[in-house]
Copies of this chain bind each other. A is one copy, B any other.
Amino acid sequence: MTQATLRKGARTREAILDAALTEAASSGLSGLTFGRLAQAVGMSKSGLFAHFKSKEDLQLATLEEARQRYVDSVQRPTLSAPPGLPRLWARCQAWLSYAQNGVFGNGCFFSAVAVEFDNRPGAVRDTIAGLFATWIDELTQAVEQAQELGHVQPEVDARQVAFEINALMTAANAYHQLLGGHEPFARSWRAIRRRLQAVRVVGSPDLHGLCSDEQPALV
């Protein structure tokens, strides 16, 4: 194949995954069908099969697309915050903003597909469980880094703090999905701030308003 053919193939795959993510955000990963997707991107079903050999293959690629978008648009920008507690705090704010604004539509995509697949054994479920485990590990490592830098008390159980931060963030999403409004995000923000204040080493820098009583505007 020529370079031009490969580039065209990559662009087509990108367009398909874009439509698949839009569809999955509203109907779930199990709601993806080759028929509807072919219609959405203006291709034949057999054209789609050239890119994804099965529904499961398409679901896995859609999940990977969502993961990459989350990393690029939500997680990566928080690397500009100073390492340690400020970066962890920036990460929580970025997540709440992501869930509130619905980057992929309809709140947190990963929370939704986790419930959709938690009792459907297979490669999709395994991948979602792996993403969740990685997510908790990364939050734990962020707390540990804050400990290494002297921002968080060394005796604190980092994984426990990660568990609680994840709980407070995902609950805001679930609450908002059912009842709407800004309240759950404000409550989540307040609880996480209080939790981080409680484990913070006195005298470590108060960056990004962690010790302010005012909720910063969500980006």
B129 contacts A160, C-beta separation under 8 Å: no
Report the nearest B residue to A115, measured CB to CB.
Answer: B115
Residue in B107, B128, B179 whose CB lies within 8 Å of A132: B179
A143 within 8 A of B: no
Report the nearest B residue to A26, measured CB to CB.
Answer: B119
B26 contacts A178, C-beta separation under 8 Å: no
Report the nearest B residue to A167, measured CB to CB.
Answer: B171
B112 contacts A178, C-beta separation under 8 Å: no
* Copies of this chain, tallied across the complex: 2
B171 contacts A163, C-beta separation under 8 Å: yes
- In the complex with contacts A115-B111, A119-B26, A190-B160, A166-B177 CB distance below 8 A: no
Nearest chain B CB to A44 CB, angstrom units: 29
Contact string, A129-169, partner B, CB cutoff 8 A, digits 1/0? 10011001000000000000000000000011001101110
A188 contacts B167, C-beta separation under 8 Å: yes
A19 to B133, CA, bound (A): 34
A166 to B183, CA, bound (A): 14
B164 contacts A191, C-beta separation under 8 Å: yes
B-side contacts of A107, CB under 8 Å: 118
A119 contacts B106, C-beta separation under 8 Å: yes
A179 to B134, CA, bound (A): 11
- In the complex with contacts A163-B184, A170-B174, A116-B115 CB distance below 8 A: yes
Nearest chain B CB to A190 CB, angstrom units: 7
B119 contacts A174, C-beta separation under 8 Å: no
B177 contacts A119, C-beta separation under 8 Å: yes
A177 to B132, CA, bound (A): 11
Residue in B136, B166, B177 whose CB lies within 8 Å of A118: B177
A106 to B164, CA, bound (A): 22
- In the complex with contacts A112-B115, A119-B177, A178-B118, A187-B160 CB distance below 8 A: yes
The 4 closest A-B pairs by CB, nearest first: A167-B171, A115-B115, A118-B177, A163-B187
